[in-house]
Amino acid sequence: MPDPFANAYTASETPADTQARLRREAFRPDPAMERLAQLKTDQPARYDLLPAAKRVALGIYLASKQAAETGKPVPTSRTFPSDDEA
């Protein structure tokens, strides 16, 4: 039976450390996305022909991978300057 308190904070781990650890543990590499990332660097012209949905999915995957490696959260949205600031 799994321990219900396995993800609880320990005395030596801060809440931020626990979140970073859980983020690292939750990430699972996807071979198909890794092939797309390789295609992006090796053959950018061919990568540009992919459907937009695959390119967006790769961006999300790479951001999640970076978050898992660094332990920092991924930004969930981009902010753009308002029209009156430009």
Q: What is the pTM of this model?
A: 0.64
Give the Cα separation of 63 and 27 in Å (integer): 11
Tokens coding 24 = 């690292």
Residues 6 or more apart whose Cβ sits within 8 Å of residue 20: 71, 72
Q: Computed over its alpha carbons, how large is the radius of gyration of the chain?
A: 18
Q: What is the pLDDT of residue 2?
A: 64
- pLDDT tens digit at each of 86 positions of the chain: 566 666 655 567 787 788 777 777 878 899 999 999 999 999 999 999 999 999 999 998 998 888 888 877 766 555 445 444 44
* Domains of the chain, residue spans: 30-73
